[in-house]
Amino acid sequence: MKYKEIIDIILDSNNIVFFGGAGVSTESGIPDFRSATGLYNRKNDTGYPPEYLLSHDFLVENEEGFSRYYKENLTSENAKPNITHKVLRKLEKMGKLKAIVTQNIDSLHQKAGSENVYEIHGNLRDFYCVKCGKTYDEKEVFSTSGANYCDCGGYIRPDVTLYGEGLPEQTIAQAINAIARADVLIIGGTSLVVYPAASFINYYQGNKVILINQEATSRDGFANYLVRDSLGNFFRELDERL
């Protein structure tokens, strides 16, 4: 088997943490952000860069435009978990995987059945009114194409971290604690260029970092074991050993 040594390390551990990015969900049909076909390289008719369209400033300036953009480009309502999500759930059920730290907002880990998931950039499941705090679910919000407003008149926004906003402090603390205590840290499907999220791996104190990414990253030297392949290929081979 191509990855026998690395998979042996995973099978020998009962304290694994998985740190993942957009590449985890591409095999579910959800585009990543920075590749040639990613969201940031798509043309849009606003004249603004995607980073601005997903910023707190744009939300405040243009609630209708912000709503239209995220509903057209970030929805994952029909996406299904892929082999990576499913095998991570298996590892969790086996007592091996202690936590998933994800930069994704698509909830596919939860759809696969994973329970201990730290969503450091929030999610598109939960919505709330910026004025009164009343909560709403995705079905209510995505049933319309434009902006949604609460009975109190406040704008209903997704519970995601936008550019210009701080990350959720409690979730970050829990994620860092899990990484710091892990025996094996698997990093997958992330370019490790988004900060401060990418810095969280620095809290790992062990010597079993498995980095899986199809393209080189600036943190390849941090890895003890480097896999230059798709997550699907690696996790399918891992699945055969479970």
What is the per-residue pLDDT across 72-83, written as a single tens digit (0 to 9) for each?
888 777 889 999
Quote the CA–CA distance of 32 and 42 in Å, as a whole number. Answer: 11
Q: Give residue 149's pLDDT.
A: 97
Neighbours of 13 (CB within 10 A): 18
Secondary structure letter of residue 30 according to DSSP: -
Q: Residue 113 sits in a domain of what CATH number? A: 3.40.50.1220
CA–CA gap between residue 68 and residue 63 (Å, rounded): 9
Percent of the chain topping pLDDT 90: 76
* 178 and 223 housed in the same domain: yes
Axis crossing angle, helix 231-241 with helix 4-11, rounded to the nearest 10: 60
Q: What percent of the chain stands above pLDDT 70?
A: 94
**What DSSP string describes 92-156?**
HHTT-EEEEEE---S-HHHHTT---EEETTEEEEEEEETTT--EEEHHHHHTSSS--B-TTSPBE
Final residue belonging to a domain, choices 131, 160, 189: 160
Q: Domain total for the chain?
A: 2
Query: What value does the mean pLDDT take over residues 138-154?
Result: 93
pLDDT at 44: 64
Are both 151 and 217 inside the same structural domain?
no
Per residue in 187-227, pLDDT (tens digit) is 999 988 888 888 999 999 999 999 999 989 989 999 999 99
117 and 131 part of one domain: no
CATH number for the domain that contains residue 51: 3.30.1600.10
Which one has a higher pLDDT value, 148 or 46? 148
Nearest to 39 by CA among 21, 63, 22: 22
| Containing structural domain, residue 86 | 1-30+80-121+166-242
pLDDT band at 108 (very low <50, low <70, confident <90, very high): very high
pLDDT at 144: 87
Query: What tokens does 140 get?
Result: 């209510």
Q: What pLDDT, on a 0 to 100 scale, did the predictor assign at position 239?
A: 97
Active site positions, annotated? 121
Regarding whether 115 and 184 lie in a shared domain, the answer is yes
Whether residue 137 sits in one domain with residue 226: no
| Confidence grade of residue 145 (pLDDT, cut at 50, 70, 90) | confident
Is residue 242 located within the same domain as residue 180? yes
pLDDT in tens, 33-60: 655 455 655 666 677 888 899 999 999 9
